[in-house]
Amino acid sequence: MSCDTNYTITVSSNNRKSLTALKKYCEMKKHRWDAWEASGKSADELLEHTGEKEYADVVCWGYEWGPIRKFGDRYCMKGTSWANENTGNLHIKGPDGELASIARRFPDIAWEAEFEDEYGWSGTIYNPDFSTG
């Protein structure tokens, strides 16, 4: 059984360049995964090709990021994403999920991800390891 889960993600940093890099990384990762999947190749093959160790580092569900805005001494950016939650999903909270994988690559960025699924279950996931919520 699976259910769709929607995410609203807020990221912030003292460094605007970090948010710009995060946005570019997510776009690159999504483009690479879409192209790889369209060619009929598996996530295992992409792991081998890239030298990455975790599925969450190569499989991407995609994010729609808004503009970077300044609030006080911090820069903020909001994004949205969704996932079809099932036992193999790499996007859902937890230290091995895609959100945590991306957060580890950008340690100076603070994350907050609110989620709600079609059954009404919801919560908030915080930096750094997404293991609480």
CATH code assigned at 42: 3.30.70
Q: How confident is the model at residue 3 (pLDDT cuts 50, 70, 90)?
A: low
Answer whether residue 133 is part of any domain: no
Higher pLDDT, 79 or 119: 79
Full-model pTM: 0.78
Q: How confident is the model at residue 91 (pLDDT cuts 50, 70, 90)?
A: low
Answer whether residue 66 is part of any domain: yes
Confidence (pLDDT) at 127? 60
d(CA 129, CA 133): 10
Answer whether residue 75 is part of any domain: yes
Answer whether residue 10 is part of any domain: yes
Answer whether residue 58 is part of any domain: yes
Domain residues for 24? Answer: 3-126
Give the single-character DSSP code of 111: E
- CA 104 remoteness from chain centre: 11
Higher pLDDT, 5 or 78: 78
Interval 98-122: pLDDT, tens? 777 888 889 899 888 777 777 776 6
Answer whether residue 132 is part of any domain: no
Answer whether residue 39 is part of any domain: yes
Answer whether residue 131 is part of any domain: no
For the cut 60, the answer to whether the pLDDT of residue 61 exceeds it is yes
* Number of independent structural domains in the chain: 1
d(CA 109, CA 89): 24
